[in-house]
Amino acid sequence: MLTRESLQSGHYLDALELPVEHRWSQDLIDASLAGTLSARPDSDDDLWIFGYGSLMWNPLLDFDRRAFATLHGWHRSFALRSIAGRGSAERPGRMLGLEPGGSTQGVALRLAPSHRDDELRMVWRREMVGGAYRPTWARVTFGNGTQTQAIAFVVDPTRPLFERDTSVATVAPVIHRAHGSFGSNADYVFQLEAALHECGLRDPYIDALAAELRRLRAEA
């Protein structure tokens, strides 16, 4: 399981087993972070990260507020081929991302100002190790109707691991077979389903995918 200590020490990279040709250098990761911060659309002191996948149940971040929120203009999609972590080069799985259209319910994490720089580097090391995402400022709405801008890690369709077909019928058999150093790909889906339900949230795409994975497991 991914831990804060493994991220801080760098052991995360070794455990991930991501092929060197797909790894981003620390310089590229740092440049991505700097570019994202320079594009910040407002001067609000609060800085939020939007969690829609494992950041919901295993954030590993020092945050001072966690709130349910709806991200506008993006929907969950297993659009990234996973060749490490929850999959392998021999039996790739799918990683979760966000693609344009619709909306996504998740959690917004406000980074504590006293540790913000360190926490941003931590989340960039975690999410941008392969450069598969495009960090984006997007509008989120909290339960009380107030809104803010948050950083969301959306799919970059120009990257080599991008997969266009994200239908349940296509991705369920792929996820069902995939397993990597961080565990099975199917367990990731079940953890996400549980995290959503614990928050009182639903995502029809995730519910349908989890149901199909259970059917495939029962037939195996």
Considering 119, 127, 163, 193, which one is annotated as catalytic? 127
Kindly compute the dihedral angle of the four CA atoms of residues 180, 106, 162, 17, in this order, to the nearest 10 degrees: -30
179: tokens are 């397993």
CB neighbourhood size of 172 (10 A):
23
- The amino acid at residue 194 is A
Q: What are phi and psi of 128, to 5 degrees?
A: -110, 20
* Residue 127 annotated as catalytic: yes
Place of tokens 């990683």: 95
E strands, the chain, are: 48-51, 63-82, 93-111, 133-142, 147-155, 179-180, 183-184
Kindly list the catalytic residues: 127
